[in-house]
Amino acid sequence: MNAKVVMKRPESLSKMDFTYCPGCHHGIVHRLIAEVIDKLGIREKTIMVAPVGCAVFAYDFFDVDGTVASHGRAPAVATGMKRARPDRIIFTYQGDGDLAAIGTTEIVHAANRGENITVVFINNAVYGMTGGQMAPTTLIGQRTTTTVHGRDSKTAGYPMRVCEMLSQLEGPTYIERVAVDTPQHVMKTKKAINKAFENQINGLGFSLVEVLSACPTNWGLPPGEAIRWLQENMIEFYPLGVYKDKAKERMKLIAHSS
């Protein structure tokens, strides 16, 4: 036998099976986060804060210390953790209902304080766990179980662009929107997540990576078509890219003051 292991489960993922649907992107993003934690050698000092939503079990999927916050409050929980133990690496993992609807206050103020935490924000434009209701990021015309004729801005307002909104604040250090629809984008996402953790290690402050993700189940599409829908609709409304990056500037400030 000359079999060589070329790829294996990252150490920072537990052995538990994911509970996600076929074609869901949570699994890809979980793996990328775990690879980054492994690579940075921070598994033994990382604490995860899971959300309420499809990723509610995420604290069991990572082989790090973890908890689950009440719906939307992960940035406040992470703030309490980081203030109590600034030498630990704290990250939250939140969906669009969690972060951009019920938890809007918590994310805005954690970002504005420049809280030295890492936020991974999954935007799939729908409430997954509760069965496909409208999210704050649901696109105009998109059908959900609470907008059966498509989201109408007259009654349901407009999709919220979180990266654009948060990048207006002075506090955040790094904000980027990515997707995991192609291998190239997956590599880019890993790089972004890596940077968001590195910033925290270097004490640079608040980092948020928004990942556009597919929800084939609640979009009512097969996985392949769901990716196409994401590319044709979501990326159009939510352009990928770096919205804010003050890492270098803040690194200099730290070097200067120490």
Secondary structure of residue 12 in the 3-state scheme: coil
Place of tokens 């504005």: 112
Pick the binder of another protein from 70, 145, 168, 182 (CB under 8 A). 70
Distance CA 191, CA 36 (A): 9
Closer CB to another protein, residue 67 or residue 153?
67
Distance CA 227, CA 234 (A): 10
The region of 72-80, 139-147, 198-206, 212-220 touching another protein under the rule CB under 8 A is 72-80
CA atoms lying within 13 Å on the CB side of residue 93: 26
For residue 76, state whether it binds another protein (rule: CB under 8 A).
yes
CA 145 to chain centre: 24
For residue 227, state whether it binds another protein (rule: CB under 8 A).
no
Pick the binder of another protein from 18, 35, 38, 45 (CB under 8 A). 45
Closer CB to another protein, residue 40 or residue 108?
108
For residue 49, state whether it binds another protein (rule: CB under 8 A).
yes
* Cβ neighbours of residue 26 closer than 8 Å, sequence gap 6 or more: 18, 20, 54, 55, 58, 122, 213
For residue 60, state whether it binds another protein (rule: CB under 8 A).
yes
For residue 95, state whether it binds another protein (rule: CB under 8 A).
no
Which residues form the interface with another protein (CB under 8 A)? 14, 43-47, 49, 56, 59-60, 62-70, 73, 76-85, 88, 105-106, 108-109
